[in-house]
Structure 1
């Protein structure tokens, strides 16, 4: 038997103090996008904004459906639309915020497992890390790669 361990590195910013202007701008776009969420069942409004290598910012929100698993998370809506609209551009960073009942969550709300996997594959496709910015009203955390949120990815598909 061989025992191994994983450690992750991230930064915390209280009330976004000291957070880079580019990151704050992306968080603001995510927060604005969350206002467009369609969340009549959970009342949980999530916004995501991705910055692309061509300078474009794509923002999106979660979209629920009465057939519950048919809805989509903000992170996947944003990243998949970005890939469809700008297939040659890579994702450089993603910001995520959430609110409940019109009140922004105090602490970071992390992407679900499915969103983490989609982000990880996007990172693998481009060969460069995706910076992650998860914002709350009182606390924001940043990671230099999606691998901090998903160290083990599903990627054992047969090679073509």
Structure 2
């Protein structure tokens, strides 16, 4: 994600303002769990993630897609068969916001070429969600929640 911040002209950060926080969380967690060979494919997605921040409806659609993907992976792997039913229910509960990205990446127990291809396809889907609709964020409202000196998009906030 640091690459995305540099490409966007933002301060060096693993949480650039121009990147959808859900996609950013997924990319950060996945990047931290793969080897250098698989990580090479993520450079293109860091670039694609620039300007992916969108309105709350698009962000929620991305969360929903990640939760669906994670749930399908968990069900197909038989995750939790040995867990008590109450703990299994908690483990299968959908994640919210940025957490959905991290949970989805961590649902991959063993990294293979197949899981890597599935992740890249999922990233393509996440980036496509919101294409063709107004993805703009209310920059003024988002800026009110930022620390001084942080910015959203291309305009710097004096701090």
Shared topology, TM-score over 0.5? Answer: no
Larger Rg: 2
Q: Please indicate the TM-score interval, normalised by the length of the shorter structure.
A: under 0.3
Give the TM-score of the pair, scaled to structure 2.
0.28
Give the TM-score of the pair, scaled to structure 1.
0.28
Whichever structure has more helix as a proportion of its residues is 2
Kindly indicate whether structure 1 or structure 2 has the higher relative contact order, using CA contacts under 8 Å at least 6 residues apart.
Answer: 2
Whichever structure has more strand as a proportion of its residues is 1
